Amino acid sequence: MTQYNAALILDLKRRIEEDFTSSNWEEIGLLTDSSHIVTGHSRLLRSLSFGDQDYAGNIISVLRAMSDHNPGSLNVVKKYLDQWYPDQNVTYISAKPSERKISFAPNVFSIPDGDVEDDLVTVMMPFAGFDGVYTAIKNACSAAGFRCLRADDIWDNSSIIQDIFSLIYRAKIVVVDFSGKNPNVMYETGIAHTLGKTVVPLAQIVQDIPSDMVHHRALIYLKNGEGLAKLEDDLLKKLRMIS
């Protein structure tokens, strides 16, 4: 193996470890004709799912095997990462927000008093059966220096949709959990995007993310002890990067 390939594998490993889901692995397996290497590895996808400490080593092992099988595969992986997960350690010039501005007066909601609260994270998610998930989100927010509120944490208006709109309007960041394809969460995500909020998507499986949103980076988690601990850690990293 050349020194260039060795350095490239280490760089790809760092970026993959930060962002990849099992679906990403399946996609690059197809793109590099290495699906058998990805799915045939005894530890790769399992260590990813459970957040095991040997995941980084498994990434290196699989990348080396892919390079041996197809010498051009590392460049394919790099191109894939550049497209879907631009390196946060490199300075990129992002597209400017649209210079065209619109003003609108919604007739379903009332515009709340006050401005955006820079320390507020609002969470849009299913309620039933998600207490553990919400606790992990709140812990991450607290560790990052944010307050965290969900619609059932307040009762400021007679209409719950007005409370939801108010929370989204006031928040700097909106965390949305698409698990179970909850239609309310999808509706609330549309509001958040329209108001120009920074939206952080979560889901237990990639297939729950609406097709119009799959190009956005999402945090995929398992709803067990280890999975929620990893979600808390991943979300903390994301919030610190945003702030």
Structure tokens at 158: 């007679």
Percent of the chain with pLDDT over 70: 89
**Residue 150 belongs to a domain:** yes
Q: Are residues 67 and 162 in the same domain?
A: no
Per residue in 64-74, pLDDT (tens digit) is 999 999 989 99
Overall domain count for the chain? 2
Range of the domain at 173: 117-242
Both tokens assigned to 102: 């619109």
Residue 91 belongs to a domain: no
Tens digit of each residue's pLDDT (9 = 90 or more) over 168-212: 999 999 999 999 999 999 999 999 998 889 999 999 999 998 887
Alpha-carbon distance values, 59 to 42, 44, 88, 102, 148 (Å): 12, 7, 19, 46, 34
Question: Cα–Cα distance between 69 and 77 in angstroms, integer?
Answer: 14
pTM value? 0.59
Using the Cα atoms of residue 148, residue 178, residue 161 and residue 131 in order, give the sign of their dihedral.
negative
* 147 within a domain of the structure (yes/no): yes
